[in-house]
Amino acid sequence: MSRQQTIQHYARLLTRWPTDRLRPEHPHFQQLLRKRLQAAPSSHANEAREVNAAYLLIDNAFAKQYPLSENVMKPTSAPTHYTDLERELDEAPDRTWWDGVVKRVKGLVRLR
Amino acid sequence: MASNSVCASCLRALRQQARKEIQRQPSLASIRPQHTRRLLSTTTRALAAEEQPRSTKRQPSKPSSANPSAFDLSQLASQLRKTDTLRSATEPYIAYGSTEDLFKACARQCDYNIPNVLKQPPEPAPKNAGQEDVGVGSGWWVTPKEQGGLGLDVTFNTWAQVVFLHMYMMTVRLRCFPKEHAGIWHQNLLDHFFYAAEDKMAVWHGMTARGVRNKYLKDLWLQWRGLLLSYDEGLIKGDAVLATAVWRNLFKSSEEADIADVALVTAYMRRQLLRLDEMGDDVFASGEVDFEGPAAVKALAEKQSPWMHKSFSSEDLKELEPAQAPAQK
């Protein structure tokens, strides 16, 4: 795979890799992709293999090959665990400091 | 009042046990000789005896057809356990025993020791660039890349992250237990990890002071909670997010990490989760669980993606355009 093609592949991956709003200050995977785009990694890396692996990940190839059943995604002990988590992950980055305080105080008391 | 440090004779005893365990060939396959199970555990003999009846699923109580008036002592223990009050009293013991087996299945994936510590007299451990103690390990996670492994550094942190990954998969499966059981089982699985982590810190890393160990244990707990969140997020949102979580935790957000390795671990996780999903509660609760190696997913992780041959649109190549001039205010 030529260097030009590699760069184009990494550029495409950068547009499609999911952004992480929850951890703004942590290292992002995009940094790894951008580094590969700007400079070729050490000789042992097989570029085609790397790019292919990244494409498989954005395609959810593994999730489609091994789909989990409703037993796991709606577990008996907490049927709404994953749906609640999804909502929380959606709302959390936009919360202000005061919203966080209110949520923590509300969480102190859990009504049965 | 417990002493503040691990006494020298206890430490020597732990090290001798560790040395014996290493000298004995680690035949930790599914058929394990009974005596190795107790070697490094902290259970007493009484608890070992309690372990025998392990199933927590409530068996539908069949009325005994033979002589109804006879008082059946053989079923007394399990029948008493089915009542609500006694269940909550006995459940932790059952959970402790079964989760010990589950934890051992996780810990078997990656084990290490530091040979310098076993020498007479003990020498300081070799350190890597990040000033972490480096040891000698077993398991495909730490075998060098030339031999087909992932080539991760053999440090305490790697061991903890590999075990966390497998414990996470156990946790996902444990969530499928009924509500009154799940909490106790989660807690006991976690406890086993922390016992093992503290053992390792004291024996291999020279942390005889309880305060230092506690500091690292608290840090580990925070890592565990963060890891639960990240991997759950990956489970909900797809492979790319799960791979990013694996990259952050296992590969320490290193920009030198290979994407193919991260993808292999992600595929491995998905497959093991499905295998655990397909296991019934009874089999899982009895502790007869084992993880496969990476060979099962290697072919899938190398499969050619259709994206490799797709032509590039201008949208795809946005990143390559020169930076836009800042907008006029």
Model confidence at B200, pLDDT cuts 50, 70, 90, reads: very high
Nearest Cβ partner for B240 among A7, A31, A57: A57
Does residue B59 form part of some domain?
Answer: no
DSSP H stretches of helix in chain A: 3-16, 29-38, 47-58, 61-65, 70-73, 81-91, 97-108
Asked, for residue B56, whether it belongs to a domain, the answer is no
Tell me the per-residue pLDDT of A28-64, one tens digit each, with 9 for 90 and over. 999 999 998 888 766 656 889 999 999 999 999 999 9
Instruction: Indicate whether B121 and B7 sit together in one domain.
Output: no
B18 lies in the same domain as B162: no
List Cα–Cα distances, B196 to A48, A91, B41, B159, B191, in angstroms: 41, 37, 8, 11, 9
Tokens of B9: 């004779």
pLDDT > 80? residue B326: no
Give the 3-state secondary structure percentages of chain A, helix then strand then coil, rounded to 5. 65, 0, 35
Assigned domain for B325 exists: no
- Give the amino acid at B2: A
Task: Say whether pLDDT at B54 is over 50.
Answer: no
B240 and B162 inside one domain:
yes
In a domain, B313, yes or no: no
Name the more confident of B302 and B46: B302
Answer whether residue B240 shows pLDDT above 80: yes
A·B CB contacts under 8 A: 171
- Cβ(A56)–Cβ(B305) under 8 Å? yes
Same-domain pairing of B105 and B34: no
Tell whether A35 lies on the interface with B, counting CB pairs under 8 A: yes
Q: Is residue B241 part of a domain?
A: yes
Site from A42, A68, A76, A77 to mutate, B interface, most B CB atoms within 10 angstroms: A77
pLDDT attached to residue B5: 58
CB atoms near residue B213 (< 10 Å): 19
Average pLDDT of span A66-75: 95
* In the predicted structure, residue B65 carries a pLDDT above the cut 70: no
* Helix or strand holding residue B137 (H, E): strand B136-138
Answer whether B248 sits within 8 Å of A27, measured CB to CB.
yes
Average pLDDT over residues B176-192: 94
B183 part of a folded domain = yes
Domain residue limits at B239: 92-301
B96 and B44 both lie in a single domain: no
Helix (H) or strand (E) holding B111: strand B111-113
| Smallest CA–CA distance from A6 into chain B, residue | B308
Residue B171: its chain A contacts at CB < 8 A? Answer: none
Looking up tokens 């929380």 gives A88
Residue B90 confidence (pLDDT): 83
What's the total number of domains in chain B?
A: 2
What does the block give as tokens for B14?
């732990």
> What pLDDT is stored for residue A111 in this prediction?
81
Q: Are residues B27 and B161 in the same domain?
A: no
Report the pLDDT value the prediction gives residue A40, as an integer from 0 to 100.
73
d(CA B151, CA B14): 29
Span B116-122, average pLDDT: 90
What pLDDT, on the 0 to 100 scale, is given for residue B4?
A: 53
Residues B257 and B157 in one domain: yes
Residue B328 lies in a domain: no
Give the residue-averaged pLDDT of B91-99: 91
Alpha carbon distance B18, B77 (integer Å): 36
Q: Using 50, 70 and 90 to split pLDDT, how confident is the model at A82?
A: very high
Residue B285 has a pLDDT of 92
| Residue B250 sits in the same domain as residue B189 | yes
| Alpha-helix residue ranges (DSSP H) falling in A39-94 | 47-58, 61-65, 70-73, 81-91
d(CA A45, CA B329): 45
| DSSP secondary structure letter of residue B12 | H
> Confidence band (pLDDT; 50, 70, 90) for B217?
very high
For residues B128 and B271, membership in a common domain is answered with yes
Percent of chain B at pLDDT above 90? 60
Average pLDDT rounded to a whole number, residues B175-189: 94
- Looking at the fold, whether B98 and B175 belong to one and the same domain comes out as yes
CA–CA separation, B3 and B5 (whole Å): 6
| A1 vs A28, more confident | A28
Q: Are residues B104 and B76 in the same domain?
A: no
Task: Kindly determine whether residue A53 and residue B301, on different chains, have CB atoms separated by under 8 Å.
Answer: yes
Set of chain B residues whose Cβ sits within 8 Å of the Cβ of A69: 277-278
> Is B318 among the domain residues?
no
Task: Please report which confidence band the pLDDT of residue B187 belongs to, taking 50, 70 and 90 as the band edges.
Answer: very high
pLDDT tens digit sequence for B286-305: 989 999 999 999 999 999 99
The interface predicted TM-score (ipTM) is 0.94
Q: Are B78 and B102 found together in one domain?
A: no
**Range B153-161 average pLDDT:** 96
Between residues B34 and B289, the one the model is more confident about: B289
